[in-house]
Structure 1
Amino acid sequence: MNNLNLLHDSADEYGPIRIYDDGKFRILSFADGDEQSRIQLSAPHILQHEYTQAMTIPLLFIEPKRIGILGLGGGTLLNALYHAIPGIQITAVELRQEVIDTAEMYFRLPKGKRVQIKNADAQLFIQDGFDKKVDILMTDLYNTDGMEIGILETSFLENCAKNIKENGWLVLNCWRNYKDNPELIAQLKRIFVDVRALDTGSGNWVVLAGKQKNDMNAKELKAAGQKLSTQLGFQVSRWLSKMYDA
């Protein structure tokens, strides 16, 4: 990040929070060499990181009215979903108030009745849950040490499932170290019906778990992918080709 200007440098009890900018992109970092979130300033609603793009795949399977996001970061997923899906209701949960404040200040988050951002520990929040069940629940829980391993616990996965509608999906952003983890896959298959995954090739392994089996064929997925690509501003088909049954 030597060629970037440091716009913001603060810290809370969990570690540093830094914002970098080169005039084209803006980056949120939680540690040296870390890039937690990135936006293109001219189009902040178009996802830049590969793993966040991969996390949108369930939009092919369901037309959501409500989405939950555990872990706000710079709010890139929130921003993309808000602009891509008319009328969508989004609730994001973020542990660190300082992260919420910097995201709102530097990352052009949408505001209004359709967006709620809650300052809470996601693993505790999900025990009581959202006011209403969501169609898609996305987890992107990372700290200065890496992925929050609590997302692998049975109780967390079960609580997530309780907050998802009967035809809904859970999306887990995992670090590559957990790719095809047999215990995680076994737990998910016990709780969910349709479990798929994809390796983004950039260090992240994204898991998709549906409460109902999705039977869209290749032709239907391709057509849906073309439509979704227009909505989101990037090619979704590249992630379809990487997806496999877990």
Structure 2
Amino acid sequence: MASLSDRADWRPSPPGLAVFVSGVVSMGLEILAGRIVAPQFGSSIYTWGSIIAVFLAALSLGYHLGGKRAARRATHDRLAWLLLGTAAYVALVVFASDLLLAAAGAIPLPGRFASLPAVTLLFGPPTYLLGFISPYAAELTEAEAVGAASGHVYAVGTVGSIVGAFATTFFLIPALSVEAIGVGFGLLSVGTALWLAWAAGGRDPALASVAVAVLVVGAGFSGAIGVSPGGPVLYQTQTPYQELEVTQVGDVRTLYLDGQPHSAMDVSDPDRHVFEYTRYFHLPLLMTEDVDRVLFVGGGGFTGPKHFASEYNATVDVAELDPEVIGTAKRYFRLEESENLHVYNTGGRQFLQETNRTYDLIVLDAYKKDKVPFQLTTVEFMRLAESRLDDDGVLFANLISAPSGPASKFYRAEHKTMARVFPQVYTFPTARGSVVQNVEVVATKRDERFTVAELKARNEARNVGIDLADEIEMYRPPPRTDDVPVLRDDRAPVDALLDPMVGQRYVIQRTDVNGSETAARAARPAETSALAAPVRRRP
């Protein structure tokens, strides 16, 4: 039977607790960094690569210098000061992250490296300080052998990192704001520093702990002010997948996902198309004979699904992966499920794989400017979608890209990919020029190609509840695709294709307040109608 003295060995020593907490905080900050940086730089592989590299580099530098100084300087008080320095910098990040991100973003770098200065500025210093803790703790441990001391420190630090990763990913981010989580890590560091100071009898670190705690809490309150660039904040949360925010200016309520506008609703006139790109959702009604069953992949504010369910008496299914998006749409964007409108909390590809239903129209509305689920872009996915369309069915993809120029790579690769599966693919930009915008790509299963004149005639003859003359005028011929790849499950370099858009402004067209057709036309500069391209067969 274990003695009491043996059991006491399991109680955490002050250095051991410092190492554990440093692991929790370092890994927690690393996970949180993705949420802080994403609204400015996106959450691509380049952003995450920068985060991982900066944290590893800062920790390594701290380990190296801490190891060189540990024999001379390692004390309980210095461990406390390191944790207090970390907490103070975390308070700065909570208070001024937007300012620091803007300053770092002004550094001219290629798109894939754009986030590196910001990650370094925000998270390099606190992670560097945390790196000192392990070698200092190894020096202070009571283990007799160097190997035993090092092994104990590595084990405790790794356990702390595991706890920090799991807690931040599965519990903190889904439940709390970024500011609240940052404050929590700051206060955890302060509390540990206070305990170290108490154990060592250090008065100065104890007094400083109180001051830093006040600083951390004050930063949290200042960072929680409900105002964003999109207007007063009605609701904000961190979901398992993204940062979600609902703002309202006047009567217009807008849903932001990772800092980008995604959907909008006029609360005084919910049927109005606030974002003009949602008008293009109706173009498939001119390309097929009947639309009775529709699938939307991606919900957002559910503008399109609500219109199709109410205006056309169509049966509409929506596959939305993020449950918080669904709840927000019900609370703030008047989403109500009914006999005609069904919402499924699942991924779009998974839904299509598991369903045996077929649709007249499938709308892909799950793409963002800097974050695209590659599994919804590949030729294998397009074949799956094609198999779930009726014989005259239409696939509609709401891409965010540029229609031409360097920032058009993603759109052109997606067009090339869709053309491998569908006989006809059409392009309708929503804004003038080669700016980053909503580019609507429509694919049909019919061999014959519609001309612009035919679409105009159908628009005149059919009563679809909306005049699409201006939208038809935005038609563009198929783009050049010889320099972009066909996207496949085993090779879909979406991040590289999105890279030229980093730092470019996303232009989203809005209709006028009254939503009239004249106002909608005036919101977009006049364009010269493009000639219809000759019939293009499947490559």
TM-score relative to the length of structure 2 = 0.42
Question: For residue 205 of structure 1, what is the aligned residue in structure 2?
Answer: 439
Alignment partners' CA distance in 2, 1:154 and 1:3: 36
2:471 to 215, 225, 239: 239
Alignment partners' CA distance in 1, 2:410 and 2:324: 34
Alignment partners' CA distance in 1, 2:239 and 2:452: 47
Alignment partners' CA distance in 1, 2:396 and 2:384: 14
SS of the residue 2:274 aligns to: coil
SS of the residue 1:147 aligns to: coil
Query: Does residue 169 in structure 1 map to residue 403 in structure 2?
Result: no
Alignment of 1:33-182 (within 5 A): 34-62=260-288, 63-85=290-312, 87-129=313-355, 131-142=356-367, 145-176=370-401, 177-178=407-408, 181=411
Change (3 A) 1:209 1:217: closer
Change (3 A) 1:220 1:36: same
Q: Is the 8 A contact 2:262 2:301 kept in 1?
A: yes
Q: String of CA shifts for 1:116-161, please: whole Å, max 9, x gaps.
A: 10000112222223x4200000001135843333322111111111
Change (3 A) 1:4 1:227: farther
Deviation beyond 6 Å, 4+ runs, structure 1: 227-230
Q: Is the 8 A contact 1:30 1:144 kept in 2?
A: no
Question: For residue 415 of structure 2, what is the aligned residue in structure 1?
Answer: 185
Alignment partners' CA distance in 1, 2:230 and 2:377: 37
Q: Which moved more, 1:5-14 or 1:46-55?
A: 46-55
Long gaps (5+) in structure 1:
none
Q: String of CA shifts for 1:178-234, please: whole Å, max 9, x gaps.
A: 4685543333223111211122126122110001145656555324324668614xx
Task: Give the superposed CA RMSD.
Answer: 2.4
Q: Is the 8 A contact 1:14 1:144 kept in 2?
A: no
Q: Which moved more, 1:188-197 or 1:213-222?
A: 213-222
Alignment partners' CA distance in 2, 1:24 and 1:73: 18
Q: Is the 8 A contact 1:5 1:22 kept in 2?
A: yes
Question: For residue 26 of structure 1, what is the aligned residue in structure 2?
Answer: 253
Which amino acid is the alignment partner of residue 430 of structure 2?
A: T
Change (3 A) 1:185 1:220: closer
Q: Which moved more, 1:199-208 or 1:173-182?
A: 173-182
Query: Does residue 225 in structure 1 map to residue 225 in structure 2?
Result: no
Following superposition, the deviation at residue 15 of structure 1 comes to: 2.2
Which amino acid is the alignment partner of residue 242 of structure 1?
A: M
Which amino acid is the alignment partner of residue 337 of structure 2?
A: K
Q: Is the 8 A contact 2:246 2:255 kept in 1?
A: yes
Q: Which has the higher helix share?
A: 2
Alignment partners' CA distance in 1, 2:397 and 2:464: 24
Alignment partners' CA distance in 1, 2:448 and 2:299: 28
Following superposition, the deviation at residue 29 of structure 1 comes to: 0.7
Q: Is the 8 A contact 1:93 1:120 kept in 2?
A: yes
Change (3 A) 1:47 1:217: same
Alignment partners' CA distance in 2, 1:92 and 1:191: 23
Q: Which moved more, 1:214-223 or 1:65-74?
A: 214-223
Q: String of CA shifts for 1:92-114, please: whole Å, max 9, x gaps.
A: 00001110001011111243111
Alignment partners' CA distance in 2, 1:144 and 1:98: 20
Following superposition, the deviation at residue 5 of structure 1 comes to: 2.1
Alignment partners' CA distance in 1, 2:305 and 2:374: 23
Alignment partners' CA distance in 1, 2:262 and 2:411: 23
Q: Is the 8 A contact 2:230 2:247 kept in 1?
A: no
Q: Is the 8 A contact 2:367 2:399 kept in 1?
A: no
Change (3 A) 1:186 1:22: closer
Alignment partners' CA distance in 2, 1:215 and 1:30: 36
SS of the residue 1:155 aligns to: helix
Following superposition, the deviation at residue 68 of structure 1 comes to: 0.4
